[in-house]
Amino acid sequence: MASAEIPMNDSGYSLSGELCPIGNRIIHLKSVASTNDYAWNLACEGAKHGLVVVADQQTGGRGRLGRSWLSPPGMNLAFSLVLRPSLPPQDVPPLSLVAAVALFSSLSAEIPRLSIKWPNDLYCGDRKLAGILSEMKLCGRETDFVIVGIGVNVNSQVDDWPPELRSTVVSMRQAVGNTFDLRELLQKFLSSFHFWYERYRIHGFHGPVQQILVENSYLFGKWVTIAINSRTIQGSAGNIDEYGRLLVYDDRGICWPVVAGEATVMEMGNFEKRGDADDSCG
């Protein structure tokens, strides 16, 4: 992969004051346990904003909630970004949604029935096409760095998945019938991420980032169960608000703005959003 060094400070600004592109330095590994762990270690040693670690194969890829992520050799995209955002820690979690929006925009022209499943996944139809795992390190009360790890099922085929996953995951190849160039896809994603990251930094969630999420939400109108630590909320998924929270309307019409959690769709058919609650709750 091409790699060009641009002189900049730790927050990713060049000497001329512009934010350097994500991917200003790319480390390409044949095999690694997890690109997130590799990028984390480099960030601890001072790696700068915009570094990307990509691997042909992960032997210990990690997903959210302690799950594992399969990356068979040479077939799919597995990479991690090092970010040093000048954002307070509470504004960092929405960066996963920014990454989802960037991934969605870089793939939606090629992949039909693509949607964003709040908070971290891309779906094609009813199957998972990509997942995002973001991890943050604090320095006192400040954000030190964030690692955004992304796995996209690109060229794998049905036999590459273990039987228990075959009905729930899908690759781009399975979706459209042809293979894809991994380098091209990565480059496309990186410029898309740069674009959406800037929008988020300048305008926050409100505006174009929120609009893409709302218009392409997999969960909208579905009946969901969301586990939040020891509690569970059930209701109809509504929009995503200007803070990146999923609005869930329970059976009494009460709106619950959910900051983070794992949403499971219930097999009860789809529900219309209730008319007696608006989107500005919370």
The label of the residue with tokens 């504004």 reads: 91
Q: Which of 12, 54, 279, 17 is nearest to 185 (CA)?
A: 54
Provide, rounded to whole angstroms, the least separation between the CB of residue 268 and ligand BTN.
24
Peptide bond into 119 cis (omega under 30): yes
Query: Per CB under 6 A, does 151 bind ligand BTN?
Result: yes
Q: What are phi and psi of 65, to 5 degrees?
A: 55, 35
Spell out where 153-245 has E strands.
Answer: 222-228, 231-240
Stretch that binds ligand BTN, among 76-84, 214-222, 227-235, 238-246 (CB under 6 A): 76-84
| Closer residue to ligand BTN, CB minimum distance, 78 or 124 | 78
Alpha carbons 152 and 33: distance in angstroms, whole number: 17
Task: List binders of ligand BTN among 209-248 (CB under 6 A).
Answer: none
| Residue 132 engages ligand BTN in binding (rule: CB under 6 A) | yes
Choose between 8 and 43: whose C-beta lies nearer to ligand BTN: 43
Cβ count within 10 A of residue 136: 17
d(CA 91, CA 97): 11
Residue 61 engages ligand BTN in binding (rule: CB under 6 A): yes
Q: Which region, left, alpha or beta, applies to residue 177 given φ > 0 means left and ψ of -120 to 50 means alpha?
A: left
Nearer residue to ligand BTN within complex by CB, 39 or 175: 39
The one among 36, 106, 153, 210 contacting ligand BTN by CB under 6 A: 36
Does residue 153 interact with ligand BTN by CB under 6 A? Answer: no
The verdict on 42 binding ligand BTN (CB under 6 A) reads: no
78 versus 255: smaller Cβ distance to ligand BTN: 78
In the bound state with ligand BTN, the residue whose beta carbon lies nearer, of 63 and 89, is 63
Q: Which residues have CB under 8 Å from 41's CB, separation 6+?
A: none
Site residues (CB under 6 A) for ligand BTN? 34-36, 58, 61-64, 67, 69, 78-80, 120-121, 131-133, 149-151
